[in-house]
Structure 1
Amino acid sequence: MLPALFPLPLLAADNASQTMVVSAAPAASGLSELDTPAAVSVVSGDEMRHAAPRVNLSESLISVPGLQIQNRQNYAQDLQLSMRGFGSRSTFGVRGIRLYVDGIPATMPDGQGQTSNIDIGSIDHIDVLRGPFSALYGNASGGVINVETETGQQPAMLEASSWYGSYGSWRNSVKASGATGDGSHAGDVSYTVSASRFTTHGYRDHSAAQKNLGNARLGVRIDEASTLTLLFNSVHAEAQDPGGLTAAQWRDNPRQVVSNVTQYNARKTVDQTQGGLRYQRQMGEDDDLSVMMYAGERQTTQYQSIPVVAQQRPGQPGGVIDLARHYQGIDTRWTHRDTLFSVPVTLTGGLDYETMTEKRKGYQNFIGNDFGVQGDLRRNERNRMWNLDPYLQTAWQFGDRWSLDAGVRFSTVSFTSRDDYITARDPDDSGSRRYHRWLPAASLKYAIDDGWNAYVSAGRGFETPTLNELSYRSDNQNGLNLGLQPATSDTVELGSKKRIGNGLLSAAVFQTDTQNEIVTDGTVNGRSTYKNAGETRRRGLELGLDQQFGYDWHLKAAWTLLDARYRSNACGSDSCDGKRIPGIARNMAYAGLSWAPEQGWYAGTDVRYLSDIAANDQNTVRAPAYTVVGVNSGYKWLVRDWSLDLFGRVDNLFDRNYIGSVIVNESNGRYYEPAPGRNYSVGLTLSYAFR
């Protein structure tokens, strides 16, 4: 049996027994897409960096079935990312999906995550897990994205990379990696250190941004049975916020912004630093122990374009958000391998504890007649959220063909708020909530032959309101939105995977029923309020093909059909029963073909289709469907220990005018975030191996 690895409870395949075990640090190549009895995709770091800007995950993850990932052209709000429709409501950051970077959650205990600290330049691989087994990760409904940084190896490598694109965009980065020994002897050390800087003027007016990012991973072999890995990450980002446009404004000039955006200088600044320590020890031939500890802090300051008259209302928290967050956690796990009645069994049990403390302040975004400056204090509170999750998973191998994987997690999420801003017009809004759920999941797999299997799985997901969703009530009421309830999702999935030559064909059909789905109630000038929508249902079909032709040709294709609808009580008196859930495309398709020999000329093209997207609950406003094409070509020199890679690319080749993403239920009618027209870029990577 494959030993249970660390740092997070991923479901990894045991190639020897063809079962799935709870695993936390997948093998260097990631999960086994064929043997894992779940809808899973693995994207390699080399693939993500090939002829690409290396700035956003949307450049490469668009090839994953079931994953809708869009660049808002707004770095103040992060990418718009949803999996099987979960997360589509988010006006900023990532919602409904658990994110991990080297075992450290990029998703906070409340379920809110961000991708700003992910360094594409040093990624080894990304595992994307969709479907019922996401229940084993706790506070999420759509799935899991796990990012693993490269482990340094011999020989030592030094790499410098630059990229320059349209709209004043550029990125410079440097990476060093290496190792002493092969990692199997006491005292062996491996390291990967990277740093990058990205700057853009932005496609739209008032959309400039810059980001500095650093990432480090140091591994030490303590003795024959144990290893220690140190992790460090830091990011500083500044971005203007262009907001959305109405349909008329988009058609007139997609690059414009409304006047109050510039009047109040809408913008955001983020500083985040975190560190982690991962300890792994083989306690015996059949037992492993792993411990992951981490801590970090995140400072966010955001200026919103809220009019003065609205900011002066009683209970209104102003137009400047000042957040200081401190978070930490520990995940401890024991894995045991044995036989029961001659049946091989793997048993993994663990305890995951995460906590976050937030100091949230709100200020007016004006002083007298000066706008876009921090004014009087309007909000001051201390929030604390924690979750404590014991979990257990088993993997049973019944002969050569049948295997059963089953697990359960008991998730407890607690929220407490202490209001330190109390006036005659703004009473005490302190409060607390605690949520509990049992989260079972199971999968039964049948191996038709060595390269073809089928599976059926079922599981329950759990999604609590985030601190941001609890922070504001609708209709300009003051106080916390403590009436918001967590959403619970039950999913059943059927899937099959078949190896075809040097490729893999995968298919999955699923149905997810959700109670108390959390949806956007309204969005005004960048601030959203939320409500529960009763019942929703998602039914989908996902097809994926990853095929290697010969040695140099590579084809990737994906198609997703997703029917996501309200079933009851979505819009109050104005019924939305049967309407599509906004922000979700019914059809997505991708095809990419590349010719990439080890050296010399290479070239590639990709096509992406997205059907129309409803922007509001009533489905009266929609972003039109679109198809965009990209092309790239380059040349790679390999001379002794030197490597030089020069490329150019054109995106949106036919200059389509389309909507890149929507702001769901935007109350001013500014639903649309336009995407750029035809744009160009060039890149250069130079590396040297110290042999």
Structure 2
Amino acid sequence: MKKTILLYICTCLFTTIAAAQTIVTGTITNAHTQQPIVGATIKASTGQVTQSTLNGSYSLPVPMQATYLVVSHISFVTDTIAIAPEQTTNYNIQLQPRPMVLPEVSVQGYQTNRPLLETAGAISIINSDVLQQTDESSLVRAINTVPGVQMEERAPASYRISVRGSTLRSPYGIRNVKLYYNGIPLTEANGTTALNLLDAASVGSVEVLKGPAGSLYGAGTGGAILLEPDRAELGREAGIGVTVGSFGFRKYSAVAGVGSAKSNVLVQYNQQEYDGFREQSAMNRKVLLISPEFYLSEKQTITSHLIYSDLYYELPGGLTLEQYNQNPNQARGGDFGSVKQNASMNQESFLIGLKHNYSFNDNWSNATLVYGMQRFRDHPFNTDYERNASQEVGARSSFAHNTTIATIATTFTFGGEFQRSLEVARTYDNNSGTAGNLRSDDEITARTGFVFGQAELELPSDFILTLALSLNDTQYKTKRLAQVTTGNYSFVKDFETVLSPRIALLKKLNDQVSVHGSISSGFSPPTEEEILTSDGVFNNDLEPERGTNYELGVRGYALQRKLYVDVVGFYFRLNETIVSRQSTSGVAVFRNVGATSQKGLETALSYTIVDAPASWISYSKLWASYTYSHFRFKEYQQNTDNYSGNRLTGVAPHVLSAGFDIRTRPGFYLHLRANYTDAIPLNDANTVYAESYLVTGAKLGLRRTIASALQLDVFAGIDNLTDENYSLGNDLNAFGGRYYQPAPPRNYYTGIKLNYKLR
């Protein structure tokens, strides 16, 4: 399996010869990425056994008569290595990844790099194989395989992510979920995330931490999502790809990479164009990613990335039910219609980050990163015209210390993160797609930061206890330089410093099953866009959300490790819940509404039917994920209306995803998938619902190597196979009944990728 961060391992070895035995040493690494493999079992032919350490190294005393080593790990193909202890004692071994074995990968989210079976928390991991099972136009379909997570696309490149029901405060964009890319914050200091600046091909893996469990990532009640770039393999490679599809979909890609023992450099360029099946829904995105990594020594690594993104997409707007049923291809009409006003987004972004990892010794290590971002937006909207320019800088540093306290192995992690941004925001009248008279001119400074600490203790009887705490602080300062009605003034919103604790306990029942439980507290301040709405009004009274989450789960294997099951139940009580609704002019406004009660069950399972690389059918698997959400308003009074007890707006009670994957030795592959979403309440009164829907899709292809160096991937696919009429990315509490954002009908795509490797 492809890992995300290549580390150069060069271990200084020594040989100690005792009577009638010797010590065999070496490293165990991933043959594809050269990263160290933690927890691999090394067994000598004479019976001696050990495991590889955090840096992949091992040391095993064996008799002189030992003739071979058997090296095994659940995520890799077992290998047998012939040895001759009397001649050499150094054996560096590379294991081939076993495809699609996700649960045993190391979890990065809590910075202890433990296997998933030894990590307490609701965590889901998506690797590159899952990301490549569709046309790779976006991350939507891959993210939606994760229980408890819903990603929506209101228009091409207009994304919204809900983790356990956090969509309610996100009429557009991503809020209340902290995102990182390559370890560097993608969520800005103002609380918003421009995920659309990335191309799906820029992401090699995704790790999702659900609920307020990310004390290491500061304030938040929705969770954290860690995105990692792909990495070049050893040697040199260059590739191109083209995909075309329905409604004018076109995607072009080029990649070049060089991997060696001292460095790894990957350069990607992706351009994606889409005419759109609705009026005013075209998109054009160009993304350049440069991702180098340098292994300066066995103690230190420097990783960086540079992203340039040029994005244009149109906003068709919401439809009423009558319009939706009559003609889902149309855009919002009327005096503020999307076509008339040229509702669209021009966004140019530049992001650069630098990360340094250093191991002082076997017990102390540090990871420090700095980054900078610059973005410009030109945004004619239905009701106004916005032009924004922003700059942001940030840094994060964390230390890890491994020690033993009274025979209890303990890992301490502590550090801090700081972000600061300056945005120049101007709004104008929108005169049919051109900027008119100035409405407001603001300079907005956002500052946020936190310090964190975590202790992980390996208790007797295979218990692992985690104690974590973060101290969070956020401030927004707005200087209004001009406004027609009110004149100039300054506004400061400074949220009080808040502690967010977490305690988790895991019990490993055996090598295949573990149970875990946790209690965590979350704090989520409003974003700058919620404090300062698009009509230029300051929302002075908006307070942060606060909540406590209780969680219990079990994960593990059965049936000779063919069946994997991960089940989590939770209860989350959220206070000062932030909700949104549209004003008469279509502007999103926000308010606190008391409390919500969120109870849920998340289940993921997979069954490996065949895993036999030498057979004609080399691999096949069934998988499914199910989410049950019993989310209710507990205390919600709006004027004379009492919504207490109503279902939480925007959350489906039942969501089921399932699929079947098969690969053959000649290279043919097939991916089938289906997603069922139950009826969704679209307003707080629960008087309007989006109907339930079932969407299916398939991808068929041939992937093989020609002449040992050229890799060919030819594929074709279909989405929305049954031509379901459904809405994805509904506008909640929309004024005038414009709730619906129609999703595309049945559509097709086909493509080819060529990649040349020179070792």
The answer to whether the superposition gives a TM-score over 0.5 is yes
Listed as ranges, the matches of 1:293-442 within 5 Å are 293-306=370-383, 319-366=384-431, 371-423=432-484, 425-435=485-495, 436-442=497-503
Matched, 1:279 2:361: no
- Looking at structure 1, the residues matched to 111 and 279 of structure 2 have their Cα atoms a distance apart, in angstroms, of 43
- Structure 1 runs of 4+ with >6 Å offset: 16-22, 24-27
Match of 1:575 in 2: 642
Contact 1:111/1:463 (8 A) holds in 2: no
If the length of structure 1 is used for normalisation, what is the TM-score? Answer: 0.90
Listed as ranges, the matches of 1:622-661 within 5 Å are 622-639=689-706, 640-661=708-729
How many residues were matched structurally?
651
TM superposition shift of 1:523: 5.0
- Looking at structure 2, the residues matched to 103 and 332 of structure 1 have their Cα atoms a distance apart, in angstroms, of 11
User: Which range moves more in the overlay, 341-350 or 147-156?
Assistant: 147-156
- Looking at structure 2, the residues matched to 25 and 136 of structure 1 have their Cα atoms a distance apart, in angstroms, of 7
Gaps of 5+ in 1: 8-12, 182-187, 307-318
Match of 1:63 in 2: 145
**Deviations 1:257-302 (Å, cap 9, x if unpaired)?**
1322111111111111010110111111200011110001111121
Contact 1:305/1:525 (8 A) holds in 2: no
TM superposition shift of 1:97: 0.8
- Looking at structure 2, the residues matched to 33 and 204 of structure 1 have their Cα atoms a distance apart, in angstroms, of 42
TM superposition shift of 1:673: 0.4
Contact 2:580/2:589 (8 A) holds in 1: yes
Listed as ranges, the matches of 1:495-644 within 5 Å are 495-500=553-558, 501-523=561-583, 527-551=587-611, 552-639=619-706, 640-644=708-712
Q: Secondary structure at the match of 1:251?
A: helix
The 1:26–1:405 alpha-carbon spacing in structure 2 relative to 1, beyond 3 Å, is: closer
**Deviations 1:189-243 (Å, cap 9, x if unpaired)?**
1111101000001121110110001111111122231111121111111111100
- Looking at structure 1, the residues matched to 719 and 107 of structure 2 have their Cα atoms a distance apart, in angstroms, of 40
TM superposition shift of 1:121: 2.1
The 1:243–1:523 alpha-carbon spacing in structure 2 relative to 1, beyond 3 Å, is: farther
Matched, 1:46 2:129: yes
TM superposition shift of 1:598: 4.9
- Looking at structure 2, the residues matched to 149 and 598 of structure 1 have their Cα atoms a distance apart, in angstroms, of 28
TM superposition shift of 1:526: 5.1
Alignment partner of 2:749 out of 678, 681, 690: 681
**Deviations 1:9-29 (Å, cap 9, x if unpaired)?**
xxxx985899999957979xx
The 1:216–1:337 alpha-carbon spacing in structure 2 relative to 1, beyond 3 Å, is: same
Q: Secondary structure at the match of 1:59?
A: helix
- Looking at structure 2, the residues matched to 66 and 450 of structure 1 have their Cα atoms a distance apart, in angstroms, of 27
Matched, 1:255 2:334: no
- Looking at structure 2, the residues matched to 21 and 405 of structure 1 have their Cα atoms a distance apart, in angstroms, of 17
Contact 1:21/1:394 (8 A) holds in 2: no
The 1:554–1:429 alpha-carbon spacing in structure 2 relative to 1, beyond 3 Å, is: farther
Gaps of 5+ in 2: 8-36, 40-50, 55-103, 612-618
Q: Secondary structure at the match of 1:167?
A: helix
- Looking at structure 2, the residues matched to 304 and 229 of structure 1 have their Cα atoms a distance apart, in angstroms, of 39
Contact 2:519/2:550 (8 A) holds in 1: yes
Q: Secondary structure at the match of 1:301?
A: strand
The 1:448–1:570 alpha-carbon spacing in structure 2 relative to 1, beyond 3 Å, is: farther
- Looking at structure 1, the residues matched to 160 and 315 of structure 2 have their Cα atoms a distance apart, in angstroms, of 15
The 1:329–1:294 alpha-carbon spacing in structure 2 relative to 1, beyond 3 Å, is: same
TM superposition shift of 1:600: 2.8
Match of 1:113 in 2: 193
- Looking at structure 2, the residues matched to 524 and 164 of structure 1 have their Cα atoms a distance apart, in angstroms, of 40
User: Which range moves more in the overlay, 210-219 or 523-532?
Assistant: 523-532
Percentage identity across aligned positions? Answer: 24
Contact 2:107/2:116 (8 A) holds in 1: no
Q: Secondary structure at the match of 1:364?
A: strand
Matched, 1:452 2:513: yes
TM superposition shift of 1:422: 4.5
Match of 2:74 in 1: none
The letter of the residue matching 1:591 is A
**Deviations 1:106-153 (Å, cap 9, x if unpaired)?**
111232112113333243311111134124312321111111112323
Contact 1:31/1:42 (8 A) holds in 2: no
The 1:599–1:527 alpha-carbon spacing in structure 2 relative to 1, beyond 3 Å, is: farther
The letter of the residue matching 1:328 is V
- Looking at structure 1, the residues matched to 637 and 409 of structure 2 have their Cα atoms a distance apart, in angstroms, of 48
- Looking at structure 2, the residues matched to 487 and 527 of structure 1 have their Cα atoms a distance apart, in angstroms, of 22
Larger radius of gyration: 2
Contact 2:439/2:483 (8 A) holds in 1: no
Listed as ranges, the matches of 1:148-227 within 5 Å are 148-181=228-261, 188-227=262-301
The letter of the residue matching 1:495 is G
Q: Which has the higher contact order (CA 8 A, sep 6+)?
A: 1
If the length of structure 2 is used for normalisation, what is the TM-score? Answer: 0.82
